[in-house]
Amino acid sequence: MHPFVTRRQVLLGGGLALLGAQRAALALESDDSGLARIARTNGLFYGAAVNSAPLTASDFSKAVIRDADVIVPEWEMKWGAIEKVRGDRQYGTSQRIVHFAKAHGLSVRGHALVWHRNIPAWAVEALNNKEYAVMQRHVRSMVANFGAVRDWDVVNEAIEPTHDRSDNLRRSPFLTALGPDYIGEAFRSARAESPGARLVYNDFGFEYEIDTHRARRRALIRLLERLKTTSVPIDAVGLQAHLVTRGLKFDPAAYAAFLKEIADLDLKIIITELDIQDTDLPASIGERDRILADETGRYLDAVLAQPAVIGVVTWGLSDRHTWLNSDPKAKRPDGLPSRPLPLDDRMERKPMWSAIANAFRNAPERS
């Protein structure tokens, strides 16, 4: 035994080498075991956000069919995309996504019915003119038109503790026009139109040990308690999980406690928009991908330990289409393209893909 190397170091060295080898092996997994198939072995689902135009590219459509069993319109089911002109509801492009799903045995998550962004200008005006019914009409028209959609983000991003309201709600045209009960009204409208669909409240900013995220965790739990005690028909919570690598602390125990609070309200949980920003990471692709995979794996290991978590959706599948490379606020300062998703821009699997596959494999089986 080398005098400077303890038994523990040998084991550790061996262990790490093995881990590296396992990861490498995972990356070379046979083609047909996509992420969705691996997730299903433990009763979970995997999905990705898509836009209709990229689905016409064969390499991307093949990758979606291989890896996902759920797809989510990233933009085309939003009110601003559907009804730019009042009364002229355009379902064309979002319907293409639904048809693609149907053709390939995938299911669709609807996103998002009531959101403070992408509200058509005429609807903002109508809400300001106290035309209360425009929101309910939109919710019912969407749910009725997309009968095949069995899972809806009914209300998106309605909490904002920095808006200084005692109920921590975000100030929006919906809140101004309809008051806090607009949230309940949206869920009741969706339930009335589709009694069997899963109705979800979706939001962001809960992952890290910073004051804003702690305040948002508390605000979310308070909102969910209010909705449950007033019998609002909510079935699940969507946690967007737009992760970052800015050295913010992720505490698996604190996050597990937060997830348990949601589960104790008899609500399911979906990770709805997972991606991971690499703006603060070095340019080296190898180093970036390794750190992004480790962070993603650590997050999902903590999340999937909670049995109320039923599935994971990444906000895109390939770096080729990520919003993070088109959003001026999210771009890398060095101008290099971000790498926040499981597949690279040539649809090749990245270490992040293996980290997600691993987390699904290690997850407790859902009954």
What are the residues binding ligand G3I (CB under 6 A)? 51, 74-75, 78, 112, 117-118, 156, 204, 240, 273, 323
Cα separation, 355 vs 359, in Å, equals: 6
CB of 39 to ligand G3I, least distance (A): 22
Of 169, 114, 156, 155, give the one whose Cα is nearest residue 137. 114
CA-only gyration radius of the chain, Å: 21
What minimum distance in Å lies between the beta carbon of 236 and ligand G3I?
16
**Nearest approach, Cβ of residue 198 and ligand G3I (Å):** 18
Q: Which is nearer to ligand G3I, 131 or 327 (CB)?
A: 327
What is the sign, positive or negative, of the torsion defined by CA atoms of 246, 248, 252, 257?
negative
CB atoms within 10 A of CB 336: 15
Tell me the CB-side half-sphere exposure of residue 85, using CA atoms within 13 A. Answer: 2
Closer to ligand G3I by CB, 352 or 363: give it.
352
Distance of CA 306 to the CA centre of its chain: 17
Pairing label, strands 114-115, 151-156: parallel
- Tell me whether residue 161 or residue 351 sits nearer to ligand G3I (CB atom): 161
Tokens representing 287?
């180093």
Distance in Å, CB of 51 to ligand G3I, minimum: 6
- Other Cβ atoms less than 10 A from the Cβ of 25: the count is 10
Is the CB of 117 or the CB of 260 nearer to ligand G3I?
117
Nearer to ligand G3I, 78 or 198 (CB): 78
Q: For residue 70, what is the DSSP state?
A: E
The residue number whose beta carbon is nearest to ligand G3I equals 323
Nearest to ligand G3I of 320, 358 (CB atom): 320
Least distance in angstroms from the C-beta of 54 to ligand G3I = 10
Q: Shortest distance, CB of residue 312 to ligand G3I, whole angstroms?
A: 15
